[in-house]
Every structure is written in structure tokens, then in C-alpha cells.
Amino acid sequence: MLSKTINKDKRDVVIEARNLGVSFQAGYNKDDYKSIVIDMFGKKNKDKTGEDKLYWPLKNIDFKGYHGEILGIIGSNGSGKTTLCKMISGILQPDEGDLHVDGKVSALFSLGMGFNKELTGRENVYLNGMMLGIEKNKIHEYIDDIHEFSELGDFLDQPMKYYSSGMKARLGFSVAAHLEPDILILDEALNTGDRHFGKKAAEKMKELVKKAKMVLLVTHSLKYAKKNCDRLIWLDKGVIREVGDPKEVVNKYKATIPPKKERKTKLELQKTTLNLKDRTIVKAENVGVSYSLDKKTFWALKDLNFEIKEGEVVGIIGHNGAGKSTLCKLLTRILEPEEGRMTLNGETTALLGYGAGFNGQLTGRDNIYLNGMLLGIPKKRVDKDYPKIVEFSELAKSIDKPVKQYSSGMRARLGFSIAATLQPDIFIIDEALSTGDMAFKQKASEKIQDMMEQAKAVIIVTHSMSFVEQLCTRAIWMEQGTIKFDGAPEEAVEKYSESKSKKARQIK
């Protein structure tokens, strides 16, 4: 670790927070003064005295960030991690205390937020760079390095509306890291990247702290935090619980996570296979989807053939850009195949990463009703299931805040809770749990197992191989829009991992 070779007393302080605190009024966002709060169902954000409620996402925050270190921030969803990053990057101003930041900050919030989906990746590189105050000539100097590091190939000159969440994350990190900031903040920005890119990003961060002043990394991956951070801050309900050695802080944090409940029945591959029914729920016959870009035809999917039977839990794995998200859009009828035929026997509910269908201006409560109605579910049924959704999401204290104030993890929890509670026939999860904390992932895993008895089929798109092996009865490995393997999860993961290792050796 970089910082362990340096005497702390001799290091320059880059970030210092003293008694830092920030407050929000419910329904009001400090970083958006033009916000219009829409209340669809007459719920007012006032307490019993009629006064507006006041929330303190952060209170009494004291810490120092030193030159030359990678400082990690961990904590459950809603603990205040994103709010702290917004203050350090200057988006938010504290209501109390002092914050000293020595240097220019480049902040990359989850999934390269700020990208214009109608512009190409290349155009967004220039746009984001200039928004950071970087001269066009300097961006032009680094554009080839950014292109190469992101591994996007021809996608760099395609509109970003065709990008998967992982591709956005890769480009966002590549832009932020190559434009040489003094302080780089990464808030959940690498959660959707595959393992190979995660390793590259870790090496790049270590290289950055030799040139820049420091890197601030927010992550739910405790393993990634222990391996790549010099120190960790553990935030819990807006206050700092621990600051120090990554291994010690992680152990203390893990000790507070409720143990996984023992279940009378556990998901077992053999038992699930025996319970399969003959009815075909999804059938793809020679399916193809293409995009016409710059007078060229790009096939996002080509010659897909597979069937999903009732009772199956199917994992979809593959590198960023393999076609996984495009397949999900076909399954949800957002797209129609240009070639072949896709047959669906049942109503589909899709959770396409981070509650992508949420309206940021509306509260969590309003979005529950909005999403229910968009799924064609009667309001009476949403009324009935509403308490279950809120309880499962563990967002009761934040349910009447606008969703734009939610962290990406909170959005993921609410989106999963809505979709899972409303019991769809076919349930699709596309990277929607990438930002969930450990305790919620355990709950979600159990919920998916329960849903197998209610839903006709569950389809999970993920970069987490352990998730696939634990939950799925079958896995499909996709590569460049085609199916490379379709079969047992363990075998699919093994073949896919071998392919990634081979590619990594070739790059070296």
C-alpha cells in the first residue's frame, strides 16, 4: 500500500473536514435550486407541528485525507457516502463545520452521470473534459489513451444510448483518470465493470496518486476496498464509525451485518432441475438486432437461439458490450428483433440497473405508484403491497424524499423491492444489485429464491460469478452479440473465467 511507506506526520493534508454537517428539508434538494417538487398523492413532508422536516444526512464529520493515498469510504446504502462526495467536489455546501480541499477535484459519480446519451462516446469525452475546465487541446492530446484504456473499440464513435452500464462506467473512469485531476473521487463508478477492467482501474489509481494528490473511492466491494485502499472511512447513518487500516475497519463493519437467516429449504441445482416444467416461457429463434451507425451496420445480437423453461433461473454473463443489455431490452419488448423471432409466454417485469425508470423529481412513494401503473398493476393492488415494498427496501425514513436525493444503492434497493413484491411472470434483473450493500444482497438472494415458486422464470444479468453460481440453475455466456456457452452455471463461469485470463495474458 502506498501510504504505509510514508510517515503520516510528514504528509501534506489534502482534505480536512472539521465538525462537518449538511441538512435537507424533505422534498427539497440543496444542489438543485430549480427543483419543482411534485406531490402526486397529496403526501406532505411536514411533521406534526406543520413544520418542514429536517434531515441530517451527515453530522459531526471529522477526518483528514493525505497526499499520496487512496482513501476508501464504505457503509450501507443511505449512510451519507454520496453526500460527502458531493460536498468535497463542491456540489453541496456544508450547513455547519469547515471543509478544506487543497486542489482541483474531478468527481465521477456512478455510471458516468453527466453523459449525453444522444452524443457519441468521443463527443462526451470532449464535453465532460471541458465541463471540468480542461482545454480542448489537452483533451485531444489524451483522447487516444482514453480510447485504448476504455477498450470500447468502435463503440467510442457510437451514441451512448447504445452503451451498457458497464461501458458507461469504463468510459467515465477513463476520462476522469486520464485528465490528471489533483483529487479524483470515484463514487460507485466501477461497480458495473468486469473483473479485468477492475484490475486495470486499480493499477491506474495507484499510478494516479503518484502524479496527483489523492484518490477518494466509494465502494460496496469490501474485498476491493481492502486490496486497493490505504485507509478506510466507515460511514453509518451520517456519522463516522471508524477510520483506519482497511482490514480492521472492514472486520468491524462486517460484524454489524445481520447473519444470513437459516432457511428450511435452500436453493439446490439438482432439486430445481427436477422441478422444471415442460412449458417454454422464452424462446429465441435466430434472433438478431443491428444498429446503423456512420453508414455501417453493427450487429449487437446475431443468430441467438435458446429456450427458457418454466422454473428456471438463468444467469447471463459476458464482458461489457457483449450484448447482455440489448438482450434484456428484447425480453422487455423495448426492442424488436430485426431477424428471427422472440416468443414470450407471460408478462415481463424488468429491473434494468439502478431504478432506471424512476422520476428523480418524485418521491420514493410516488415512484412506487408510478412504476406499478406503468406495469399495468391496479392502484388497489399497489396500495395493498406498498407497506411490503417499503419494509423490504428498508427506506421508510427516505420514502418521502425525491429520488434524486437517493444514492445509487438506495435506488437499486427500491427498484428491486418494487419489482420483486409485485410478482411478475418473468423477472429480469440487469445489473440492478451492483450497488447493493452486503446485507441487502443477502436479502435479495433469498427473495429471488422465493420468487422461483411464484414467477415463471428469473433472468439475472450480472458480473458477479459467485451470484451466478449461488442462485442460477443455468448460465448463458455471451460474447460480441453471440452465445458462446449455454449450460450449467459452474461450467459457464469456468469457461468464461478461462477466456478472461487468456485475454489478460494476451494484453500483457
Return the amino acid letter for 100.
H
pLDDT the model gives residue 42:
42
Residue 244 in 3-state DSSP? strand
**Extents of the domains making up the chain:** 3-255, 269-507
pLDDT the model gives residue 98:
93
Task: Provide, rounded to the nearest whole percent, the portion of the chain with pLDDT above 90.
Answer: 20
Above 80 in pLDDT, residue 365?
A: yes
pLDDT the model gives residue 436:
55
Separation of alpha carbons 99 and 64, rounded Å: 10
Rama region for 42: left / alpha / beta (φ>0; ψ in -120 to 50; rest): left
Above 90 in pLDDT, residue 243?
A: yes
pLDDT the model gives residue 117:
77
Above 50 in pLDDT, residue 348?
A: yes
Architecture per CATH, domain 269-507, reads as: 3-Layer(aba) Sandwich (3.40)
CATH superfamily of 3-255: P-loop containing nucleotide triphosphate hydrolases (3.40.50.300)
Separation of alpha carbons 99 and 21, rounded Å: 10
Domains 3-255 and 269-507 share a fold: yes
Separation of alpha carbons 377 and 348, rounded Å: 12
Residue 181 in 3-state DSSP? coil
Q: Element (H or E) spanning 222, and its range?
A: helix 222-228
Task: Say which range, 98-107, 142-151, 275-284, 470-479, has the weakest mean pLDDT.
Answer: 275-284
Which tops the pLDDT comparison, 106 or 345? 345
Separation of alpha carbons 353 and 350, rounded Å: 9
Per DSSP, the residues of 286-319 read EEEEEEEETTEEEEEEEEEEEEEETTEEEEEE-S
pLDDT the model gives residue 367:
86
Banded model confidence at residue 159, pLDDT cuts 50, 70, 90: confident
The pair phi, psi for residue 81, each rounded to 5°, is: -65, -50
Banded model confidence at residue 265, pLDDT cuts 50, 70, 90: very low
Say which residue the cell 477466456 belongs to. Answer: 499
Task: Say which range, 3-17, 49-63, 122-136, has the weakest mean pLDDT.
Answer: 3-17
